[in-house]
Structure 1
Amino acid sequence: MLGVGLGVVGILAREDVKVLTVYVDLSVICVAVLTALFALFYCLSELTAYLHWLGGLSQQWWWFCWY
């Protein structure tokens, strides 16, 4: 009975580690996605400012990308 109990504790401990690993992996993925979105919007704003500085296009040129 003690061996079975220890086996169950071992399995539960391993399952907890797997769940913890999944949560850590998801948090890393979420941080990476948010960082990529921030970088994308930052680059778009810089590109818009540069093109506006050149005087070739208005600041609203990138709205056409959404359609």
Structure 2
Amino acid sequence: STVSTTITGATGGNFENLVPDTTPAVTTITDSVDDTGLTLSASETITEGGSIVYTATLTNAAQTPVTVTLS
């Protein structure tokens, strides 16, 4: 995608005649896909009636909360 920005006005500086260039500045934004891995590990052994502890590990830090659904 691209972003195009133009000067729509300028004041100040004590200039007699400040004339802004209205030619747009155009920036192209390149979004690259950032693959992130998710691995699941668990307790190797537990006692009957005990709880299994699962650990989900991401290969990159999350910027928002992550929900992992198990089945």
Give TM-score, length-normalised by structure 1.
0.29
Larger radius of gyration: 2
Q: Greater strand share, 1 or 2?
A: 2
